[in-house]
Amino acid sequence: MLISRQTLRAQVRAARKALSIEQQNQFANQACQRAIQLITERGVKRLALYLANDGELDTQPLIDALWQRGIEVYLPRLHPFSPGNLIFLAYRVDSPLIKNRLGILEPKLAITQMRLPHQLDMVITPLVAFDANGNRMGMGGGYYDRTLAYWPLMGKPLPVGYAHDCQQVSHLPCEHWDVPLPMIITPTRIVNGA
């Protein structure tokens, strides 16, 4: 039986939201260790990630580890006037955060703190569901598809999915605008996708 994108999205969102606080903490630490290893191997200096929402794999241990190592951390912010697009702003210990209209914390707009996607070495993307081929389904806004549309041409930034194991599905239908992920980090492994 074929299930719709909408149904699949709702099912996986419910599964990740059902994880306990203990599981969330353990998984965040496990995924952080894998991510730090990959980031160090690749010599990443500027990296974008997200602040967890809706049961997403928590990035806070990773953020702390990156700050400790002096790696520049960036967060997405909804574009101030271009709907459907993201901009990336530096995130430091003392950066002020504000909740956006989707309820997600994001840095205050400051042009001097902004980088374009090709100025970042790696973008750790949130996602709702992924499959073994690196196909990605997000929250449905197309934000990351637009952000990553040019990475194959520019060679940067390397997109890396970050998700719970329970977010893997056997097969995701892909659309022509979907940008497949070469890698997905989960608490238990690194999936080599596209």
Ligand X SMILES: Nc1nc2c(c(=O)[nH]1)N(C=O)[C@@H](CNc1ccc(C(=O)N[C@@H](CCC(=O)O)C(=O)O)cc1)CN2
Instruction: Give the Cα separation of 137 and 174 in Å (integer).
Output: 8
How many Å from the N-terminal Cα to the C-terminal Cα in the chain?
Answer: 25
Instruction: Give the Cα separation of 102 and 172 in Å (integer).
Output: 25
75, 126 contact by CB (below 8 A):
no
Site string for ligand ATP, 146-175 (x = CB under 6 A): x--x-------------------------x
Q: Which is nearer to ligand ATP, 83 or 96 (CB)?
A: 83
Instruction: Pick out residues in 94-133 that bind ligand ATP (CB under 6 A).
Output: none
Q: Which is nearer to ligand X, 46 or 77 (CB)?
A: 77
Instruction: Give the Cα separation of 28 and 25 in Å (integer).
Output: 5
Q: Could you tell which of ligand X, ligand ATP, none binds residue 72, using a CB distance below 5 to 8 A set by kind? A: none
Q: Which is nearer to ligand ATP, 91 or 144 (CB)?
A: 144
Binding residues for ligand ATP, rule: CB under 6 A, are 137-146, 149, 175, 177-178
